[in-house]
Amino acid sequence: MSGAKRITVDEGAWREAQTAARKLRQVRSDMPKLVEAVKKEQRAELDRTFNQVEGRQRRVEQVLTGLSDEAKRAELRTAKRLREQSDRLRGQIGSAVEQLRAEQDERIRTAIERERAEQRAEIQELGRELDGMRADRDRAAVAAGNALADARLMRDAIRAELPHERFAPGRLDRLERRIATAEANLAAGLAAESLSLLQETYLDLAELRADLVLLDQEWQAARLAALDALTVVAERVRFSADLPAPDERGEPIDGLSFDVDHWSGGGLAELRAEVEERRGRVGEGTGLTTEELREIVRRDAPDLERRLEETLSHATAALLASQARVNVAEQVVDAVEHATGFSWAENAYAGDDQRAAFYSKLRHLNDNEIVIEVAHEEEDGGPGTLAVRILSYDRDTASEEELTERAREIATSLRDRGLPVGEPTADAPRADPALTDFDSLRAEGTEISARAGDGRSRPGERR
């Protein structure tokens, strides 16, 4: 008669291994190599970004040298402030100075606004002179022509060099329509009437230019911060590919490591791909707002860190669970040999995969066989309850009572050996005969194995 009996190992014994797994889930973020790798990438991206920003500022300033004298002096002062702000920002990236940067942005905006206010006051004063200027059509035409040339020059510089559609969509187009209106008025001989509109339009363009530079600096700072946060996660993932193998207490074993991606069931590779995809998006900077970039630092990167810790915990738990299955199988085999006349024959992992159930076969002189299956029930957090199935393949007339008594003797022997197990329960009236074919058992499932051997050593022996 054949049959299957199930013995559950006390959860407390497995809980200790789960606790040990959690000890290794934290990867040190202050490892010198990891920190240096992050800093190296940070420096390279910082240099690349601000070289682009400074090159664009130089090109704008070069274009603006064609402004009229008064406008040129004002824009040189503005350009100087913007360059100083860019230099300060470059030196502060990577430091905990978000509030300081915000205060500096506010100060430079205030200074630029004060200058614009002074210019507007001058325009208002000029407006009071327009009545007299209207009498001098030639003087009005010259002033309007200069204002139009300045407005066109500023418009062209903004359109060519600054990200106006990203930070101020439609604003440049509205100002350009005002320029077109003034051009039409000038063509109609209305120079004095166009002068005020052109000067106001130029000031609005100059204000737009300063706003765009500051908004771009703010966006670049947010992008670099997001890239830094994702780079830290990416480097932690890279450094986590192989970790020291833990003992049953979670302490690393010198000279032994394990493949985290394999033992996490591909979880580390999946996380790595997601991090790299996000880094690619941030690196390109397309389609992401300043607030979305800041959200990566506040929420997304910490969430990826948490998932990395969970992946490491899962991989370590899977490794410890595999060793626990082998250890339990060894004790069960010893107990069966002690309680019966059976002798150990061979071992196998399902699918030849150390992450799967572990099997040991014992054989009697009369060719009866017993297969020991040791497996964990899968739970959301990883391996769950550890259970042992004793599968009897008797070719004689062993009764159900005899099989039950055999299972009780084995359970008693296991408890005597210090393994906390419950009473055996009936699992199936007949054991699956396919489980006696260990060659087929090894061939089932995936071919993946983490440094697996041939599965023919006794339980507990190194393979």
Same-domain check for residues 14 and 75: no
Within-domain flag for 463? no
Instruction: Give the torsion through C-alpha atoms of 83, 87, 90, 92, to 10 deg.
Output: -130
Within-domain flag for 92? yes
Q: Residue 268 above 90 pLDDT?
A: yes
**82 close to 53: Cβ distance less than 8 angstroms:** no
Digit-coded pLDDT (tens) for 355-377 = 899 999 999 988 889 999 998 87
Same-domain check for residues 102 and 186: yes
Return the minimum-mean-pLDDT range out of 23-37, 55-69, 107-121, 178-192.
23-37
Same-domain check for residues 185 and 333: no
Same-domain check for residues 101 and 213: yes
Within-domain flag for 7? yes
> What is the CA 225 to chain-centroid distance, rounded?
14
Output the pLDDT for position 449. 31
Output the pLDDT for position 39. 66
Q: Residue 219 above 50 pLDDT?
A: yes
Within-domain flag for 124? yes
The 3-state DSSP composition of the chain as helix, strand, coil percent (nearest 5) reads: 65, 15, 20
Output the pLDDT for position 450. 31
Return the minimum-mean-pLDDT range out of 124-138, 199-213, 216-230.
124-138
Same-domain check for residues 216 and 111: yes
Output the pLDDT for position 175. 95
- Surface-to-core class of residue 28, CB atoms within 10 Å of its CB (0-12 exposed, 13-18 middle, 19+ buried): exposed
Output the pLDDT for position 277. 94
- CATH number at 341 reads 3.30.310
pLDDT mean across residues, the chain: 77
Q: Residue 456 above 50 pLDDT?
A: no
Same-domain check for residues 324 and 216: no
Confidence of residue 179 (pLDDT cuts 50, 70, 90): very high
Residue 395's domain spans which residues? 2-19+319-443
User: What average pLDDT does range 398-409 have in this prediction?
Assistant: 75
Same-domain check for residues 116 and 15: no
Among 363, 370, 359, 347, which residue's Cα sits nearest to residue 461?
347
Output the pLDDT for position 99. 45
Digit-coded pLDDT (tens) for 277-315 = 999 999 877 789 988 998 998 999 999 999 998 898 888
Return the minimum-mean-pLDDT range out of 154-163, 214-223, 424-433, 443-452.
443-452
Q: d(Cα 277, Cα 175) in Å, to the nearest integer?
A: 39
Q: d(Cα 18, Cα 39) in Å, to the nearest integer?
A: 35
444 or 176, higher pLDDT: 176
Residue 390 forms beta bridges with which residues?
5, 372
Q: What percent of the chain lies above the pLDDT cut of 90?
A: 22
Same-domain check for residues 158 and 10: no
Which of 184, 208, 230 is the last residue in one of the domains? Answer: 230
Within-domain flag for 462? no
Output the pLDDT for position 302. 92
Within-domain flag for 79? yes
Residue 234 region, left (φ>0) first, then alpha (ψ -120 to 50), else beta? Answer: alpha
Q: What percent of the chain lies above the pLDDT cut of 70?
A: 71
Same-domain check for residues 6 and 48: no
Tally of structural domains, the chain: 2
Output the pLDDT for position 272. 96
Output the pLDDT for position 8. 66
Within-domain flag for 26? no
Confidence of residue 451 (pLDDT cuts 50, 70, 90): very low
Digit-coded pLDDT (tens) for 92-144 = 654 543 444 455 456 555 655 665 566 566 555 545 555 555 556 677 788 88
Q: d(Cα 312, Cα 259) in Å, to the nearest integer?
A: 10
Q: Is the C-alpha dihedral spanning 226, 232, 238, 241 positive or negative? A: negative
Same-domain check for residues 8 and 49: no
Angle (nearest 5°) at CA 175 between 173 and 176: 60
pTM given for the model: 0.72
User: What average pLDDT does range 412-423 have in this prediction?
Assistant: 74
Q: d(Cα 36, Cα 308) in Å, to the nearest integer?
A: 20
Tokens (6 digits) for 48 = 């690349």
Same-domain check for residues 340 and 424: yes
User: What average pLDDT does range 137-165 have in this prediction?
Assistant: 87
Which of 192, 213, 230 is the last residue in one of the domains? Answer: 230
Within-domain flag for 83? yes
Which of 180, 212, 230 is the last residue in one of the domains? Answer: 230
Same-domain check for residues 207 and 355: no
- What angle, 0 to 180 degrees and rounded to 10, lies between the N-to-C axes of helices 301-339 and 191-239? 20
Output the pLDDT for position 379. 67
